[in-house]
Amino acid sequence: MTELRFTQSHEWISVEDGIATVGITRYAADQLGDVVFVELPAVGKIFAAGAEAGVVESVKAASEIYAPLAGEVTEVNESLGADPAAVNSDPEGKAWFFRVRLANPSSVAALMTKDQYTEFLKGL
């Protein structure tokens, strides 16, 4: 995978060959606590950047997942249905949520780098 980029709503994105893998950050997973359910978008769904793409529920709260960039969902991580707790153990790895064919792959540059996201978290 390529370098991770981040949003202010705590999603991460990694792009390879115009396909973006999307998940939530370690910070978001820690804030949610024990994840018990993940609602993922349908394959073929088209999102604008910032649109609600799914929901993650924990014992403490429910939170929306947003599409970091515009595109069409090409795949969802079906394993999260059976093992939503994977979001807590590996949120920036095997517990990715969905993959999107980006409408504009160059738009990734507008998202935060790891260093920028780390600085952003210090202000929260």
CATH number at residue 47: 2.40.50.100
Measured CA to CA, the distance from residue 93 to residue 97 in angstroms comes to: 10
Domain assignment present for 74: yes
Question: What pLDDT shows up at residue 27?
Answer: 97
β 52-58/35-39 pair status: antiparallel
- What does the pLDDT look like over 73-84, one tens digit per residue? 999 999 999 999
Closest to 5 in 3D by CA, of 115, 122, 123, 124? 115
CA–CA separation, 11 and 49 (whole Å): 12
- Residue-level pLDDT at 2: 76
- Is residue 116 situated within a structural domain? no
Task: Please give the tally of structural domains in the chain.
Answer: 1
pTM for this entry: 0.95
- The per-residue pLDDT for range 46-96, each reduced to its tens digit, is 999 999 999 999 999 999 999 999 999 999 999 999 999 999 999 999 999
DSSP annotation of 82 reads H
**Phi, psi values for residue 111, rounded to 5°:** -85, 160
